[in-house]
Structure 1
């Protein structure tokens, strides 16, 4: 049992945590997220999409 608890306590940092860290460093805060999404927006688009994925509004 001591062997198991010794090994179970040590965990690796998985790919998901590394990906979360990359996003946290890139976006930093809510304003960073808004700015990032604004760069993806088409010119002239004010945030409303012509179609809504997921059904009618």
Structure 2
């Protein structure tokens, strides 16, 4: 997901607002920056697996 995001950005294609977290503790800052809801994905999921729509912490 991180690699694909970089490719799409370089190609000038539209992508959803995206934040990549290094630590779980960064999640509050992401909610503040993006608003809610946010869609949380793991880097290794595919086809919608390991994904959750969160409206609050």
Select the structure that is richer in strand: 2
Higher relative contact order (CA 8 A, sep 6+): 2
> What TM-score, normalized by structure 2, do the two folds share?
0.21
Select the structure that is richer in helix: 1
